[in-house]
Amino acid sequence: MTTPPRVYLDHAATTPMSRAAIEAYAEQMAVVGNPSSLHAAGRAARRVVEEARESVAAAIGARPSEVIFTAGGTEADNLAIKGLFWARRTGHPERRRVVVSGVEHHAVLDPAFWLAEHAGAEIVLLPVDRDGLVDVDALRAELDENGDQVALVSVMWANNEVGTVQPLRRIVQVAHAVGVPVHADAVQAVGHLPVDFAASGLDAMTVSAHKLGGPVSVGALVAGRGLAITPVLHGGGQERSVRSGTLDAPGVRAFAVALDEAVAAREAESARVAALRDALVAGVRERVPSAVLRGPEVDAMLDDGPARLPANAHFTFPGCEGDSLLYLLDSAGVQCSTGSACQAGVPQPSHVLVAMGVDEVDARGALRFSLGRTTTEADVDRLLEVLPQIVARASRAGLASARPDATRAVAG
């Protein structure tokens, strides 16, 4: 039996490490030294970390002192949401409102709701339109009425499921008009969009290495030097006394290498994958006319750039279960996602699609195709070759499972 070719279309979940990042990582792993130690080995490790910090800062328009290394995007988001909330409430107990969009990653939503359960926070969910775009007028109305009670605003730069790019500059302007800090999860944006921390006006921003060719379990919270943040982890006081823990010198070095590569190649690579994405979208619409593209149209624009990530294509397939589609595609050699990998296996519709007004039944039939550096025309062709019969098969399974006497199972 011939094994089908493997096609990886899940780069938004994680993307392969670049060769240069692997080499930098392996080289530094062979070197001993705690960056907090004062002897020669420690000083050498510290030099590696600080050079990486300078490189990361330069790549994203920040100052080196603004880069706080973390163990990844989830930790950085937690530090931003909890740390800003607690810091802003010091001396101002009335600042209990946390304003987030309804389409945020769970790494933002879950700490926000944890604060509501354990620390007296009040969560305000900003509505979005049918494309997943945040309603800036709703934010303005909230801040006009309750600005003195708002601890922070957090709106992601670009959505991890449907690819919507948010109007961050307008959001920052509205929030700063009443003195409220703004955090953005930029994990999906860096390497695909022109991300400049200083130019954005943001107060804090999350970045993760493994989404752009670096290793897992390393990332950064970029935070303005004067921004007060209460630590979530306590220990040795590393990283501006905001994030304690022994720094991962190999990880941050590989992170810096991968980020520098991704940013340097961004313009050409984004154009390349956008062309592949457009061919994928057109091909799916031609071969599966019932499929519905979710998020902005591929040619939609904001005031300062594309309204959709160049590597993202997200569809719902009426009458199908996303998990059935995913498993059938996987058996045909095509790997993709039903949405956020962090929620994979949870039998419930995407909160992102529900916030966009998608019916819960339709939302369960979602697939996200996300492209990256290794994606080729042949990969897109393979998807388009196998998708129609897989959708037909999953649709038949969906009809069968809807009958009262049917046994629920993935088609196969």
CA–CA separation, 86 vs 75, rounded Å? 16
Phi first, then psi, for residue 322 (nearest 5°) are -55, -40
Residue among 161, 151, 72 at smallest CA distance from 367: 161
Render the burial of 172-196: b for 16+ CB within 10 Å, e for the rest.
bebbbeeebbbbbbbbbbbbbbebe
Residue 5: per-residue pLDDT? 77
Structure tokens at 158: 């670009």
The catalytic residue among 342, 346, 378, 399 is: 342
- 108 and 238 in contact (C-beta within 8 Å)? no
Q: How confident is the model at residue 340 (pLDDT cuts 50, 70, 90)?
A: low
What's the average model confidence in pLDDT over 363-385?
Answer: 98
Nearest by Cα to 183 from 200, 159, 160: 200
State mean pLDDT over 8-27.
Answer: 98
336 is an active site residue: no
> Backbone dihedral region of 100: left (phi > 0), alpha (psi from -120 to 50 degrees) or beta?
beta
Q: What is the CA radius of gyration of the chain?
A: 22
Query: Which pTM was predicted?
Result: 0.94
Q: What residue has token string 């307008």?
A: 170
Domains and CATH numbers, the chain: 7-15+266-402 (3.90.1150.10), 19-260 (3.40.640.10)
With a cut of 60, say whether residue 254 has pLDDT above it: yes
Counting residues of the chain whose pLDDT is more than 70, the rounded percentage is: 94
Confidence (pLDDT) at 244: 97
Please give the pLDDT value at position 287.
98
pLDDT tens per residue across span 85-137: 999 999 999 999 999 999 999 999 999 999 999 999 999 999 999 999 999 99
pLDDT of 346 above 70: no
Q: Are 390 and 333 in contact (CB under 8 A)?
A: no
Which pLDDT band holds residue 405 (cuts at 50, 70, 90)? very low
pLDDT band at 408 (very low <50, low <70, confident <90, very high): very low
Model confidence at 409, pLDDT cuts 50, 70, 90, reads: very low
User: How far apart (Å, rounded) are the C-alpha atoms in residues 362 and 398?
Assistant: 12
346, with CB counted inside 10 A (0-12, 13-18, 19+), is exposed
Model pLDDT for residues 131-184, shown as the tens digit of each residue: 999 999 999 999 999 999 999 999 999 999 999 999 999 999 999 999 999 999
